[in-house]
Amino acid sequence: MLLKFYRTRLTEKLKEALKAVLPIIGIVLLLSFTIVPVPPSILLSFIIGAVLLIVGMMFFTLGAELSMTPMGERVGTKLAHSRNLGTVILLCFALGFMITMSEPDLQVLAQQVPSIPNSTLIFAVAFGVGCFLVVAMLRMLFSISLSRMLIVFYAAVFLLALFVHKDFLAVAFDSGGVTTGPMTVPFIMALGVGFSAVRSDRHAEDDSFGLVALCSIGPIVAVLLLGMLYRPDNAAYSPTTIPDIQDSVELWYYFAIGFPKYMKEIAVSILPIVVFFFLFQLVSLRLRKRTLLKIIIGLTYTYIGLVLFLTGVNVGFMPAGNYLGNKLAALPYRWVILPIGMLIGFFIVKAEPAVYVLMEQVEEITSGAISGKAMGTSLSIGVALSVGLAMVRVLTGISISWMLIPGYAIAIILSFVVPNIFTAIAFDSGGVASGPMTATFLLPFAMGACEAVGGNIVTDAFGVVAMVAMTPLITIQILGTVYKIQSMRGQQPEEKTAYYLDTLDENAIIEL
C-alpha cells in the first residue's frame, strides 16, 4: 500500500516536471535549428541536463513535501509554544545561518562574483539571513505590519546603496534573490506556517507568509555593507567555460565528474538541517516512528532530487544559456533577444523547484481561495517582464537603480491597497522565483549577451536575478487587486466559489 502511494505521487510529480521543463527544451531546440546554430556538444549536454532536471524535480518536490515541510512546521510550532524569547531568537538565528550556508544557489553566485572571497560572501549573506529570520519571527510573534517593515528596511537598503560602489549594487540584490532557493524556501515557509498555527487571531493566516520576503533583505544589506570594505578595481571576471566535447565517451565523462561534486555539496547542505531536526526531536519533539520514517524517506528523495537537478542545470544548462545569449546578442538584429528572453523567462519560472512548494502552501493555507494556477500565471508574467528589462539593461547599460527603485516603490504602494495576505505572498514569490534556474541559465544568458555587446558584465549582466525577484511583487499584488475588486462586487474568483459550493453541499447532506 505504501509503495503504491509513493509510486502514484512520483508519477504526479513527473507529470508536473515534464509540463514545466518541456517548453524550455522546445524553445532552445527551435532556436538551435533556426537563428542560433548550436554545436552538438552543447546541445547534447543541454538535453541530458534537461532529463536530469526533470527526474530531479520529480524527486525533490515529493521529498520536500514529505520531509522539509513537516519538519519546518513542527519546529515552528514548538518554537511558538516556547515562552523563552531568548531561546526563540537564538534558534531562529542558528536555523537561518545554517540553511543559508548550505544553499546551493548561493554557492553558484559566490563563484561568479569577483573581488569578494567566496567564503566571506557566503558567511556575510548567512549572517544577514539569520538576523532577518529573527526579525521575521518577532514580527509574527508581535503581529507587526509587514508593509511597514518593508518600507523601513527597503528605505534603509536604498540609502545604503548610495554609499556603495556601483559594481556591488547588482550583486547585492542578486544575493537576496538566490539565497531563498530550494533548500531555504520549503523549510522557512513551513516554519512560518507552524509558528502562526498556534495563534488563534484572524491575522494568523496572513502572517504565516512573509518570512521569505524579510529573509531576502538580509543578504542585500550584508553585501552592501561588504561593498564598503572591498574595492573591485582589480577584480577579474571569469567567463563561463563552453565545453568542447568530441564524442559520447567525453560527454559521459563531462557529467560523471559533476555527480561526485554535487553529491558532496548537497550532503553538506542537508546535513546541518538534519542534525538540527533530530537533536530537536530527541530534546523536544518526540515524534512517532512512522512519522520519522516518512521524513527520512522524504529526505532521501530530496537529496537524490537536488543532486540530479543541480548536476543537470550546472553541467548542461549553464553553458547552453551562455552560448545562446552570446549568439543572439551578436546577431545584426540583436533586439530579438528581448522577446526571446521574455519567452524563456515566462516558462523557466515553472521549472523552479521552490515555486511548486510555494503554490501548494498557498492553496493549502487559503483552502483553495487563491489558486496555484493563477499564482503560476502571475509569476510567469512577472519573470517574463524581468528578463525583458534585464535584456534592455544588457543592450543599453542602464543602471539597475533606474529599475529597482521605481519597481519597489510601486510594490510597496500596492501593499497598502491589496489584502495583507497577497502582499506577504507577493514578497515571498520574489525570493522563490529567483532560484537555481535563474542562477544557472538566465544569469549566464545575460552574461553571454553582455560579452557579445562589449558591456560591463558586473554592472550590466549581474542584476537579472534581482529583476526576477522584483517583478513578481507587482504582478502577484495586481492579482490581489483583481481578487479584491471581484470580492467587493460580490463575484468570488472561480476557485473560491467552487470551494464554498463544496462546503455548502456537505452541510446540506449533514442537515438532511
Give percent of the chain with pLDDT exceeding 90. 21
**Contacts with 38 (C-beta within 8 Å, 6 or more apart), sequence order:** 28, 31, 32, 46, 320, 323, 324
Find the farthest-apart pair of alpha carbons in the chain and give their distance in angstroms, rounded.
Answer: 79
315: nearest Cα among 442, 440, 182: 440
Give the model's pLDDT for residue 410: 93
Q: Residue 71: is its pLDDT beyond 50?
A: yes
What's the one-letter identity of residue 408?
A: Y
pLDDT band at 79 (very low <50, low <70, confident <90, very high): confident
Cα distance between residue 211 and residue 146, in whole Å: 10
Q: Residue 507: is its pLDDT beyond 70?
A: no
Condensed to tens digits (0 to 9), the pLDDT of residues 139-149 reads 888 888 888 89
Condensed to tens digits (0 to 9), the pLDDT of residues 334-347 reads 999 999 999 999 99
Grid cell of 300 as nine digits: 532521501
Give the model's pLDDT for residue 494: 47
Phi, psi of 144 (to 5 degrees): -90, 145
pLDDT band at 351 (very low <50, low <70, confident <90, very high): confident
pLDDT band at 153 (very low <50, low <70, confident <90, very high): very high
Give the model's pLDDT for residue 510: 28
Give the model's pLDDT for residue 337: 93
Dihedral class, residue 368 (left if φ above 0, else alpha if ψ from -120 to 50, else beta):
left
Q: Average the pLDDT over 284-304 and give the result.
A: 88
Give the model's pLDDT for residue 508: 30
Measure CA 211 to chain center.
Answer: 13
Give the model's pLDDT for residue 388: 94
Pick the range with the lowest mean pLDDT from 227-241, 261-275, 433-447, 497-511: 497-511
Average pLDDT, the chain: 82
Grid cell of 24 as nine digits: 524550455
Q: Which residue has the cell 520574489?
A: 430
DSSP string for 213-235? HHHTHHHHHHHHHHHTT--GGG-
Measure CA 420 to chain center.
Answer: 21
Give the model's pLDDT for residue 198: 65
Report which of residues 388 and 362 the model is more confident about: 388
Q: Which residues of 423-443 are buried (b: 16+ CB within 10 A; e: fewer)?
A: bbbbbbbbbbbbbbbbbbbbb
Give the model's pLDDT for residue 203: 58
Q: Give the CB-side neighbour count of residue 96, counting CA atoms within 13 A.
A: 29
428: nearest Cα among 192, 218, 213, 196: 213
Q: Inter-axis angle of helices 443-453 and 337-348, to 10 degrees?
A: 170
Condensed to tens digits (0 to 9), the pLDDT of residues 464-487 reads 888 888 999 999 999 888 888 877
Report which of residues 154 and 171 the model is more confident about: 154
Contacts by 35-43 with C-beta closer than 8 Å and gap 24+?
35/328, 35/331, 35/336, 36/324, 36/327, 36/328, 37/327, 38/320, 38/323, 38/324, 39/323, 41/243, 41/244, 41/245, 41/246, 41/251, 42/242, 42/243, 42/319, 42/320, 42/323, 43/320
**Rounded to two decimals, what is the model's pTM?**
0.79
Question: H-helix or E-strand containing 49?
Answer: helix 40-63
Cα distance between residue 3 and residue 138, in whole Å: 41
Q: Residue 91: is its pLDDT beyond 80?
A: yes
Using alpha carbons only, give the angle 28, 30, 35 rounded to the nearest 5 degrees: 100
What residue spans define the domains of the chain?
A: 13-231+250-501
Condensed to tens digits (0 to 9), the pLDDT of residues 357-385 reads 778 777 777 777 777 788 888 899 999 99
Grid cell of 472 as nine digits: 513578481
Give percent of the chain with pLDDT exceeding 70. 87
Q: Residue 41: is its pLDDT beyond 50?
A: yes
Give the model's pLDDT for residue 497: 38
CB atoms within 10 A of CB 358: 25
